[in-house]
Amino acid sequence: MALAAPARADTIASQQARFTLVDVARGLENPWGLAFLPDGRMLVTERPGRLRLVSAEGELSAPLNGVPVVYDTGQGGLLDVAVDPQFAENSTIYLSYAAPVSGGGTTAIARARLTQSGLSDVTVIFTAKTRGSSGRHYGSRLAFGPDGLLYATIGDHGDDDSAQDLGLHSGKVIRITRTGEPAPGNPFIGRSGALPEIFTYGNRNPQGLTVTPEGGIWAHEHGPRGGDEINVLRAGANYGWPVITHGRAYSGLSIGEGKEKPGMEQAIHLYVPSIAPSGMAFYSGSRFPAWQGDLFLGALAGTHLNRLEIEGGKVVGEERLLEDLGERIRDVRSGPDGHLYLLTDSEEGRLIRIAPAR
């Protein structure tokens, strides 16, 4: 089905750039993840369990065959998508999703080949060991590091204390090979009672994961009531949840032991009150020179695009864009064509291109 992109909207002026919004596609049901193919097409996941191809001109494919069965409950469903670094040779993609298990759902990752007719050779390469979830906190962002290894975020599934339990994957960031084995050199390999896939722990519900221009791995996570965090990930580090947090319980009561504790990492940036971040990308294109190296986050509760200026690994400035749009922004990506791309989270979700104003 071809969807004609409307004319460009009025020019939007920000602190450092002037731009317009172009709808590439509309009518996506709760789109969650976006990835770019070498030929210019895009893959978009829809949370109820559909994967679609979108051309640069906005032609939207029918749902692709072969997608695994998902646990479409609450925050669960088909979530992120990533393209293999050697896609041109192997046509391989990766999907993260809520998989049905006893006790509800858990986070899983599947590997598949993208063909003309859909997905083939679909293999589940990882299923998170959790206590299950009725529909909360799957995490589920995917990113390939400069080491060629696959990093994935696993939310705490609403089971706060599990984030500190190295015998569970919930509340962790994992690092695995492209076939699902624990990555060589992972920090807890060989440690009794610890799962070998774990890279970091003490993470509440990370829905943003990205690689810096220098090759570092950064993640953000939802706080409870306040206290959303952006963290620089280090192998074996403990990011504190639920022992330390800058947020409070939804009841207003305090959580844990305070805001800091020896041996637990501090975030490099906090949002109090929460913006409910989702999706995250460093801008690396040439169409907006002033944005080079800036970090962009989608905001769900805050309904805006959050731009952070980064210098020397620290946040030195913040700007909130598109507040008048009134949309929950689920994902943000820096496209290979130099544009910035967004997914809006609704039953009539949009794939939006941010383009320089003429």
> Which residues are annotated as catalytic?
137
SS (H, E, C) the chain: CECCCCCCCCCEECCCCEEEEEEEEEEECCEEEEEECCCCCEEEEECCCEEEEECCCCEECCCCECCCCCCCCCCCCEEEEEECCCHHHHCEEEEEEEEEECCEEEEEEEEEEEECCEEEEEEEEEECCCCCECCCCCEEEEEECCCCCEEEEECCCCCHHHHHCCCCCCCEEEEECCCCCECCCCCCCCCCCCCCCEEEECCCCEEEEEECCCCCEEEEECCCECCEEEEECCCCCECCCCCCCCCECCCCCCCCCCCCCCCCCCCCEEECCCCCEEEEEECCCCCCHHHCCCEEEEECCCCEEEEEEEECCEEEEEEEECHHHCCCEEEEEECCCCCEEEEECCCCEEEEEEEECC
The whole-angstrom separation of Cα 62 and Cα 3 is 12
> CB of 166 within 8 A of CB of 104?
no
